[in-house]
Amino acid sequence: MTLPKTLRRVVAAILISAPSLAPVSAANAASNGPAGDGPRIRVTTEDVRQSNEKVASAYSALVDMWTKAFNQIGERFAAPRIARYTGGARTACGLIGPNNAQYCANANTIYYDEVFVAGMGRAAANSLGTDGDMASVGIIAHEMGHAVAMQLGYRSRDSYTNESTADCLAGAFTQQSDRDGYLEKGDVEEAFYGMSLAGDPIPEPTGDARYDALIQARLARQSHGTKDQRMANFRAGLEGGAKACLSEFR
């Protein structure tokens, strides 16, 4: 079925998984704007450096957490590699564009646009008056959640099922970080802020029941969830731990 041009734009819009934040790194603080109507974000090379340090530290904690969790259920966690890029990257799972992060099971690697991740942290910092780091870390925790779920055999054709599990597991990591004494004041708020930015837009009804049903069907297959859904899924893991996300951990 071929959709009219206006409806094709609606469908395209609801399939965008990244928030409308597209910071561009520049030497020593250039003002950088997003693609679209999102907030303008200033990202510096120092922001990117600090963000990468936080990501590296979080990555180590994530690997430690999930290795122990898998050992407790008699499984082995194959820790993914982590690789940063800027602008785009060619991976074993195909091309990954800017302003994104992705777990590629074919290479067991988490790829992330270092400027985008730094920009998420900067956006949270500007909004909340904190350092914003947990908004950046949450992206990596979410992608690690995909690795955890896939290695336990969870890979649904329904995108929302996959994404909601990864959001929940990111919440479980935040809970464990709190237990380990790593969370700072404001970190939980930063994590929720990041989730709120990354929610799928809610499509407006077109008035045509057939096309509306098609849009909803595509959204169900390819969505990450609305802002409220993503925050709720993250909260489930934050409050209930990994056992709230996957039955193997109960």
> Is the CB of residue 133 less than 8 Å from the CB of residue 109?
no
Q: What is the largest CA-CA distance in the chain?
A: 54
From residue 36, alpha-carbon distances to 31, 33, 39, 66, 112 in Å are: 15, 9, 9, 37, 21
Residues contacting residue 5 through CB under 8 Å, at least 6 positions apart = none
Q: What is the pLDDT of residues 13-50, one digit of tens each?
A: 323 233 334 444 433 333 333 333 455 688 999 999 99
How far does the chain reach from its first CA to its final CA, in angstroms? Answer: 44
Residues 6+ apart with CB under 8 A from 42: 23, 29, 30, 31, 32, 122
115-162 pLDDT, tens digit per residue, is: 999 999 999 999 999 999 999 999 999 999 999 999 999 999 888 899
> Which pTM was predicted?
0.81
* Domain edges within the chain: 53-75+116-249
